[in-house]
Structure 1
Amino acid sequence: MSSSDSSTSAGPRLLGPAEVRSLAASLGVRPTKQRGQNFVIDPNTVRRIVRAADLAAGETVLEVGPGLGSLTLALLADGHPVTAVEIDPLLAQALPSTIATYAPEQASSLTVVEADAMEVGPAEIGSPTACVANLPYNVAVPVLLHLLMVSDSLRHGLVMVQSEVADRLAAPPGSRTYGVPSAKAAWYADVRRAGPIGRNVFWPAPNVDSGLVAFERREPPATAASREEVFAVIEAAFSQRRKTIRSALARWMPDRERLDEVFRTTGIDSQLRGEMLGITDFAALAGAGRTL
């Protein structure tokens, strides 16, 4: 490993397979399935992610699960201040040193938050406008939904998740993979698949394929109901996926006459299955249920 002094003129250096393994060995780190850790070892992949994120010049980026710093370095190299949320104390404490070694001129642009991403809010992460991250695969959906809920400043982002999760997040109504994650994500943002990621760019190589998901924040549908009330309808609608929406919502609204009135008021066909309804439909049902 060359000294930081010799790298300043060349700009930030990114981590390859040898650097990732060397850093992990020096820290005594072994990636764990429990925390969904798979470290990116391919510089071209992190460069591709940063390009695909379509970030504005100097835009502040929230990164969740920076690990050893592969993507962090690529974001800093592109001129973006980074707030990195890392739950692993060892990795969180080592990241500033890694950045100081590989990107000394950008070290002051890094803020590390040692915390569970499911528990952070504006007090911890500030006001980032973009999220770019290789999300821990075992908690990717709840983490993304939590961040969209607590951070109004987050306008767009690009996250790497398990390929099947990417399909579910970006699925439109009526598709085979459309479900609770799709509908809840659609409350906050327009979501789309943004490309595949091969297994060989990780260490250790995962047993699943990966994919990129892009999101663009927009206003939620107009409704008299709260987000929590809309989400309750979504969860009820998919709790019995094979049943009609009227049957599935019976637990949500046991009064059948009132439930029928909800469908009459909204004009939504009660014989459809929940998977055919979009977020505006769920918002309309929740709103009617609240006001009738």
Structure 2
Amino acid sequence: MTLLTARDIREIAADIGLRPTKQKGQNFVIDPNTVRSIVTSAKLQDHSSVVEIGPGLGSLTLGLLEAGHHVTAVEIDEVLAARLPATVEKYGKRAEEHGQSTAAADEAANFELVNADALRVTELPTAPDALVANLPYNVAVPVLLHFLEIFPSLESVLVMVQLEVAERLAAGPGSRTYGVPSVKAQWYGDVTLAGRIGKNVFWPAPNIDSGLVHIDVTRTHRDPEQRRRLFGVVDAAFAQRRKTLRAALATWAGSAQRAEELLRAADIDPKTRGEALGVADFERLAAAQGDTSTTGSARS
């Protein structure tokens, strides 16, 4: 499989009349070496079933296929989706002609396309064990959390996002960038920064650098009710992050006094702020609320 160069990207864009827009978060990787570096950073098992969100013109898609993985690409743009299968076929054959590959047909067979809004996708033709994507900056976190929720088969994630978002996702308690996305992503597994990507490998070049985030998904059992309770308390804790948890959780708990009771039951100082709590702390707090709700229901 040969990968797309800057010239290839511009030729395909001109052919389909594409003018990238910030509104759609369209910034296409134009450097093959960067694509291969991203695929390597994903640390995928051999022949993984990868879901790629927002494949665009196919730069990363071709890189994943070249590495021998099965790719299910989810693309919302109808024009881009219509062109992508032809790109996969063309560049697979081009590599074959140059003696670089003898498996163009296999690579095409390893490719599936879903023309849909990633935020609304609830099933895929092939269950993915990995998510690898250059996510549109404007919907990166919602899309990431949606796929982690909907597809329990996911074991590994590598996404490229705005550097600030990458740092936020990987931030630990006490950091000024630690917040709702940090806790929610880290509930699913170990989140780490996997690299930094400069502006010049994109067309058009964005105004900011990008970051790679790797998630080793360790929570294989994902109870929907547990997740709902946990995410609810996380949202409440950071909605007013300057306040102590006793005050910030008053509405969530029903009153400040009730919030204090739940915090003490979870062995958390009510004067603490949300940014000081780790995932395990939030889990204890959510469990305390769940335990008292169950007790209350039984008594009634």
Tell me the CA shift for residue 277 of structure 1: 0.4
- Stretches of structure 2 that go unaligned for 5 or more consecutive residues are 94-103, 293-300
- CA apart distance, 1:255: 3.1
CA separation in 2, counterparts of 1:75 and 1:144? 19
Please say if residues 159 and 214 of structure 1, whose CA atoms lie closer than 8 Å, have aligned partners that are also in contact.
Answer: yes
What residue ranges of structure 1 are gaps of 5+ in the alignment?
A: 1-11
8 A Cα contact 1:38 1:205, kept in partner: yes
Matched, 1:49 2:38: yes
> How far off its partner does 1:220 sit?
7.5
**Aligned residue pairs, count:** 280
Q: Is the 8 A contact 1:221 1:280 kept in 2?
A: no
Report the TM-score, using the length of structure 2 for normalisation: 0.90
Q: Deviations over 1:164-209 (max 9, x none)?
A: 0001111111111000000111111211100100100000000111
Q: Does the residue aligned with 1:74 lie in a helix, a strand or coil?
A: helix
Match of 1:36 in 2: 25
Matches of residues 138-217 of structure 1 in structure 2 within 5 Å?
138-217=138-217
Counterpart in the other structure of 1:79: 68
Whether the 8 Å CA contact 2:250–2:257 is kept in 1: the answer is no
Q: Does the aligned pair in 2 maintain the 1:223–1:283 contact within 8 Å?
A: no
The 5 A counterparts of 1:110-149 are 110-122=111-123, 124-149=124-149
Larger mean CA deviation between 47-56 and 212-221 belongs to 212-221
| SS of equivalent to 1:283 | helix
Counterparts of 2:109 and 2:273, CA distance in 1: 52
Give the match for residue 80 of structure 2. Answer: 91
- TM-score normalized by structure 1? 0.92
Deviation at 1:264, TM superposition (A): 2.1
Question: Could you tell me how far apart the structure 1 residues matched to 2:245 and 2:282 are?
Answer: 10
Give distance in 2, aligned partners of 1:126 and 1:101.
Answer: 23
Distance 2:121 2:265 in 1: 39
Q: Provide closer, same or farther for how the CA distance between residues 102 and 221 of structure 1 changes in structure 2, counting only shifts above 3 A.
A: closer
Take 1:225 and 1:110, find their aligned partners in 2: how far apart are those partners? 35
Give distance in 2, aligned partners of 1:237 and 1:116. 30
CA distance in 1, matches of 2:182, 2:66: 33
The amino acid that maps onto 1:115 is A
Change (3 A) 1:95 1:224: closer
CA distance in 2, matches of 1:264, 1:277: 14
- SS of 1:264's equivalent in the other structure is helix
Please give the alpha-carbon distance, in whole angstroms, between the structure 2 residues aligned to 1:172 and 1:225: 25
Distance 1:192 1:149, change over 3 A: same
CA distance in 1, matches of 2:184, 2:149: 10
Relative distance call for 1:118 and 1:25 in structure 2 (3 A) is same
Contact 2:250 2:258 in 1 (8 A): no
Deviation at 1:290, TM superposition (A): 2.1
What is the distance in 2 between the residues matched to 1:221 and 1:273? 29
Task: Please state how far the C-alpha of 1:27 moved relative to its aligned partner.
Answer: 0.6
8 Å CA contact 1:225, 1:287 repeated in 2: no
Alignment partner, residue 239 of structure 1: 239
Residue 125 of structure 1: how far off its partner (Å): 4.7
Q: Please identify runs of 4+ aligned residues in structure 1 that moved more than 4 A.
A: 220-225
C-alpha root-mean-square deviation of aligned residues, in Å? 1.6
How many angstroms apart in 2 are the aligned matches of 1:189 and 1:270? Answer: 27
